[in-house]
Amino acid sequence: MYIAILAIFCAGIGNFAMHRAFMESDDPLVQQMVKPLADKAGPHITYVFEFLLLVGAMAIGVQNWFTGLMLYGLYTIFNAMAFSWIMHRPR
C-alpha cells in the first residue's frame, strides 16, 4: 500500500508539472479552453481540480491500492498523451 501511495504521489508531481507547462504555454487552444472557466471561478481553479484528483486517488489508494494506482496511472498516461500532442503540434 505504501509503495502505491508513493507512486501516486510521484505521478502527481509529474501531472502538476505538465499542468503548469500547459497553463504557462501561449498555445491558443489551451487559452481558449481555460479562459471561460478562469473568468468564472478564478485563474487557479484548474490547479485546485488537479489537487483534488491527486487527493482522491490517494484516498482510493489507501482503501484499495491496486484500483487507486491503476486509475491515477491511466489519468497520468492520458495527461501525458495530451501534453505531448499540445506541445508538439504545429501552430
The domain limits of the chain are: 2-88
CA nearest 76: which of 6, 8, 2, 1? 8
State the pLDDT at residue 91.
72
Which tens digits make up the pLDDT trace of 1-59? 899 999 999 999 999 999 999 888 888 888 898 889 888 998 899 999 999 999 999 99
Taking the model in full, what pTM does it have? 0.88
Q: What is the enclosing helix (H) or strand (E) of 23?
A: helix 2-24
- Residue 86 · residue 44 · CB < 8 Å: no
Distance CA 89, CA 85 (A): 6
| CA 13 to mean position of chain CA atoms | 9
Burial of 57 (0-12, 13-18, 19+ CB in 10 A): buried
Q: Is the pLDDT of residue 90 over 90?
A: no
User: What value does the mean pLDDT take over residues 67-79?
Assistant: 96
